[in-house]
Amino acid sequence: MGSDILKLFINRLEDLGAKTYICHSLEDLLQHINDLIKEVKTQILITGSETEYKKQLIERLKENNQNIQVIRVDSTTPVCDAELSIGFPELALANTGTVIYRASSGIEEASIYFPEIHISIISRNKILYDIEDLEGYVDDFLRMGESLYFITGPSSTADIEGEIVKGVHGPRRFYVFIIDGESV
């Protein structure tokens, strides 16, 4: 069942226009991320769950002299001008290709929606089949006073004439890195 859920998640994301990568190690993840961030001229925002991979990624990006800003509840960093953000979602839903973040402040949420490019990094074991599987988690997050927000593919909308516009309500380009084997 696990490999079926992973395949479904990847297929849904790609149907939506997202790009997906399966990574088997921190080195593998860093190689892919470095390819994406080499052209970024603004500060890179990092948000989401506190995980070992997040700590290690921050450390390695700092070693490579990347201009990063870790977004927290009390952050005052302007996010409007950032080109790229990297996030660590809580969970994902395979049948819709959705990643789910939690946030205690508007700045955390804005750090995902404002940049043109967003990278989500999630462990394979955090991918659920559908929203019914999410039920047990929602109450816990809401009791902690946190909001959940769902991202399903890159942002796109159509005007009244049916012309598709990208990036109006969120990132224009969306990448999902799935860590296979280890928890993120």
Q: Give pLDDT, residue 76.
A: 79
Task: Kindly report the pTM of this predicted structure.
Answer: 0.87
Question: Residue 51 belongs to what domain range?
Answer: 2-179
Q: Give pLDDT, residue 107.
A: 74
SS3 assignment, position 180: coil
- pLDDT digit string (tens) for 159-172? 556 665 554 555 77
- pLDDT digit string (tens) for 119-132? 999 999 999 999 89
Give Cα 40 distance to the centre of its chain: 17
Q: Residue 12 belongs to a domain with what CATH number?
A: 3.40.50.10420
Cα-Cα-Cα-Cα dihedral sign, residues 21, 57, 145, 147: negative
- Of 35-39, 41-45, 107-111, 145-149, least confident by mean pLDDT is 107-111
Give 23's pLDDT tier (boundaries 50, 70, 90): very high
Whether 30 is covered by a domain: the verdict is yes
- Rounded to an integer, the average pLDDT of 51-62 is 89
- Rounded to an integer, the average pLDDT of 93-117 is 84
Q: Which residue has the tokens 């450390």?
A: 59
Whether 184 is covered by a domain: the verdict is no
Give 32's pLDDT tier (boundaries 50, 70, 90): very high
Whether 162 is covered by a domain: the verdict is yes
- Rounded to an integer, the average pLDDT of 67-85 is 82
Q: Is the pLDDT of residue 41 over 70?
A: yes
Per-position DSSP letters for 46-112, written without gaps between them: EEE---HHHHHHHHHHHHTT--EEE--TT-----TT-SEEEEE-SEEETTTTEEEEEESSHHHHHHH
Q: Is the pLDDT of residue 181 over 70?
A: no
Backbone angles phi, psi at 12, to 5 degrees: -65, -45
Give 111's pLDDT tier (boundaries 50, 70, 90): confident
Q: Give pLDDT, residue 167.
A: 45
Q: Give pLDDT, residue 126.
A: 94
How long is the chain? 184
Whether 104 is covered by a domain: the verdict is yes
- Mean pLDDT for all residues in the chain: 83
Number of domains in the chain: 1
Whether 79 is covered by a domain: the verdict is yes
Q: Greater confidence, 58 or 159? A: 58
Q: Is the pLDDT of residue 72 over 90?
A: no
Residues 6+ apart with CB under 8 A from 161: none
